[in-house]
Amino acid sequence: MTDKLNESIEDLTQNLLKNIGENPEREGLLRTPHRVAKSWEYFSEGYRLNIDDIINNAVFKEDCSEMVVVRDIEFFSMCEHHMIPFFGRCHVGYLPNKRIIGLSKIPRIVDVFSQRLQIQERLTSQIAETLMDILNPIGVGVIMEGRHLCMQMRGVQKQNSFASTSSMVGQFRDSAETRNEFLSIINLKQF
């Protein structure tokens, strides 16, 4: 993020502090606008990252035809309606079609789309679509389970509720057997 953008986020934060009835000049708050700007630089990093750079040629030819699953990927994102965090776990599976991706790249893809203002539904489908684009696999399944602080802190829903979203593409959509295999792998542990 540019210095200018950082400065304007600092100004906005100073204003916010005044508007909620705080004194931005008191000691504990003096550096808060700076810290908030730094935090938002990180929360919004996904806008400045490019998927191709992240994949960085880590796609390999392989005759593997078994389902590949990475489960319990932690994610943190910001709800676009309230700019308040939602976070949880993401499970990703795909059926390769002669191409696989380095396993560590899958959580990186989750991060790129999480570090933007999001709704969980779109975040889920963007991860699935990206894997379809990169790998042209036989199918992709993505399930996300998130706690939304905009609901929990504002008392809209019970404290312990999760929002579940899924995106099933190709054989994951067409075949109950494939879907069930995916679900049974990620269900090994309670989530």
Rg of the chain's alpha carbons, rounded to an integer? 20
Contact residue for Zn ion among 34, 71, 82, 99 (CB under 5 A): 82
The string of DSSP codes covering 161-180 is --EEEEEEEEHHHH-HHHHH
Say if strands 99-101 and 163-170 run parallel, antiparallel, or are unpaired. unpaired
Which of these is catalytic: 22, 64, 150, 152? 150
Verify binding: residue 154, Zn ion, rule CB under 5 A: no
In whole angstroms, how close is the CB of 81 to Zn ion at the nearest point? Answer: 4
Among the residue ranges 36-44, 60-68, 75-83, 179-187, the one whose residues contact Zn ion (CB under 5 A) = 75-83
Which of these is catalytic: 120, 126, 145, 171? 120
Q: How many CB atoms lie within 10 A of CB 158?
A: 8
N-terminal to C-terminal alpha carbon distance within the chain? 36
Among the residue ranges 42-50, 117-125, 150-158, 162-170, the one whose residues contact Zn ion (CB under 5 A) = 150-158
Among the residue ranges 56-64, 78-86, 91-99, 165-173, the one whose residues contact Zn ion (CB under 5 A) = 78-86
- Is 148 annotated as catalytic? yes
- Is 81 annotated as catalytic? yes
Q: Where are the beta strands (DSSP E) in 43-120?
A: 59-61, 68-79, 85-95, 99-101, 117-118
Residues known to be catalytic = 79-82, 120, 148, 150
